[in-house]
């Protein structure tokens, strides 16, 4: 998908772009509410920014604005929600052209990351009922419909004190505090840097922090592990395997991020097909770094094919990644009686120790 996401000042965004026509129509302004044009001009005067997707034709494909609220009540038709610290997704709109291409999922994922990092109790958004695709995504990621406001918009809220860990998507971007074990996933650098673009390393050309929005936060890894021990809802630590020839792999191969498992598909084992190709492609969808031809080749060529679905929960960041030498020296590489690192089963204590070493705010990532 061409184009890119980036933060832009309202003053640099063309309000006359046809992308905004639906927003102008939905929010014309009344005696008691601010119209979209007036709101946009106000944000321009306040020198604020929004997250905007610009395609190769210089047209807007998506637009999202986030606002921190410290005590505003939410007025519903038949109720009033008390004022508490919240993040409001003030505006979120995807153009018709790009719906179904993961921009919406990625934008919601980025909003949830930012919400988590502010440690505010709730995040919410208001949506008119006709925007069914967006509502479906919100519900999938744990937003709950609380009612309607006076303008007829549905109010959807996610509260960090009411997380459902029965479904990793509804709990995202948090990790279940009652997980039994964790694991390791080894990804070659060429694939890693596309799947996990925020997990950058020193001396590696950094990508925009908002590239994740275009790529989405749900990922698919395709490998050759036989009967992997991963279970849905468990955390896995992502290990970037350096395949270059410059410098020592012991320093350049490292843990960069943590994901939560959403699916485990044993598609082929020792040459025996366990999942039909058409079903496998449907379950992978558009979440893999491989195109359909690559997947077909792997499916029919490799003796074993295992697919792991993941949610990209947290990246350690430059300077915080844990390299092979640290893992080996501290007993986390091939821990226990295993023949290969991906067979390692980390205890909850191991996972917490590794996250703390990577300077993660564990209490704000593993939330009870």
CA distance to 21, 134, 168, 233, 340, per residue, from 352 (Å) = 48, 34, 19, 16, 22
Are 326 and 191 in the same domain?
yes
Q: Which helix (H) or strand (E) holds 267?
A: strand 254-269
Helix (H, G, I), strand (E, B) or coil at 172: coil
Domain end among 101, 127, 162: 162
Look at residue 173 and tell me if it is in a domain.
no
Are 196 and 299 in the same domain?
yes
Are 352 and 215 in the same domain?
yes
Are 142 and 190 in the same domain?
no
Query: What are phi and psi for residue 257, nearest 5 degrees?
Result: -165, 170
207: DSSP letter: P
Look at residue 170 and tell me if it is in a domain.
no
Domain end among 162, 197, 219: 162
Residues 6 or more apart in contact with residue 320 via CB below 8 angstroms: 358, 359, 360
pLDDT at residue number 215: 66
The span from the CA of 255 to the CA of 105, in Å, is 25
Domain end among 162, 193, 208: 162
pTM, two decimals, is: 0.89
Count of residues in the chain = 368
Contact yes or no for 297/175 (Cβ under 8 A):
no
Residues 6 or more apart in contact with residue 261 via CB below 8 angstroms: 168, 230, 231, 232, 233, 234, 235, 236, 308, 309, 310
Q: Convert the pLDDT of each residue in 165-179 to its tens digit.
A: 999 999 999 999 999
Domain of residue 69, residue span: 4-162
Are 122 and 226 in the same domain?
no
φ/ψ region of 336 (left if φ > 0, alpha if ψ in -120 to 50, else beta) reads left
Look at residue 177 and tell me if it is in a domain.
no
Are 190 and 336 in the same domain?
yes
Q: Convert the pLDDT of each residue in 105-125 to its tens digit.
A: 888 998 999 999 999 999 999
Residue 211 pLDDT > 70, yes or no? no
Look at residue 169 and tell me if it is in a domain.
no
Give the pairing of strands 86-94 and 122-127.
Answer: parallel
The span from the CA of 160 to the CA of 367, in Å, is 8
Are 142 and 221 in the same domain?
no
Q: Convert the pLDDT of each residue in 58-113 to its tens digit.
A: 778 889 999 999 989 999 998 999 999 999 998 888 888 777 667 788 889 989 99
Query: Domains in the chain: how many in total?
Result: 2
Are 148 and 260 in the same domain?
no
């Amino acid at each position: 998908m061409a184009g890119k996401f980036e933060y832009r000042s309202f003053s640099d965004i063309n309000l006359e772009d046809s992308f905004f026509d639906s927003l102008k129509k939905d929010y014309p302004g009344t005696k008691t509410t601010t119209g979209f044009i007036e709101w946009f001009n106000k944000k321009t005067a306040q020198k604020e920014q929004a997250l905007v997707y610009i395609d190769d034709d210089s047209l807007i494909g998506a637009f999202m604005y986030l606002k921190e609220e410290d005590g505003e009540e939410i007025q519903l038709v038949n109720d009033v929600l008390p004022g508490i610290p919240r993040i409001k997704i003030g505006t979120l709109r995807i153009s018709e052209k790009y719906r179904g291409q993961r921009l919406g999922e990625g934008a919601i994922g980025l909003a949830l990351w930012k919400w988590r990092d502010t440690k505010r109790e709730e995040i919410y958004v208001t949506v008119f009922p006709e925007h069914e695709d967006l509502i479906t995504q919100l519900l999938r990621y744990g937003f709950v419909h609380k009612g309607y406001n006076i303008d007829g918009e549905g109010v959807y809220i996610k509260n960090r004190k009411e997380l459902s860990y029965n479904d990793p998507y509804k709990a995202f971007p948090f990790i279940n505090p009652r997980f039994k074990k964790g694991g390791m996933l080894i990804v070659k650098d060429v694939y890693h840097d596309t799947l996990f673009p925020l997990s950058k390393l020193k001396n590696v050309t950094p990508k925009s922090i908002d590239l994740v929005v275009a790529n989405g936060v749900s990922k698919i890894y395709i490998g050759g592990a036989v009967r992997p021990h991963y279970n849905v809802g468990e955390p896995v630590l992502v290990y970037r395997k350096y395949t270059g020839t410059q410098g020592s792999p012991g320093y350049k191969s490292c843990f960069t991020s943590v994901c939560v498992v959403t699916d485990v598909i044993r598609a082929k084992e020792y040459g025996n097909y366990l999942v039909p190709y058409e079903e496998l492609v449907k379950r992978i969808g558009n979440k893999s770094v491989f195109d359909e031809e690559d997947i077909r080749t792997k499916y029919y060529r490799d003796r074993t094919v295992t697919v792991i679905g993941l949610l990209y929960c947290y990246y350690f960041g430059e300077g915080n990644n844990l390299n092979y030498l640290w893992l080996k020296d501290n007993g986390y590489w091939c821990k226990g009686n295993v023949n290969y690192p991906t067979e390692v089963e980390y205890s909850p204590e191991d996972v917490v120790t590794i996250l703390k070493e990577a300077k993660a705010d564990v209490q704000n990532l593993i939330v009870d």
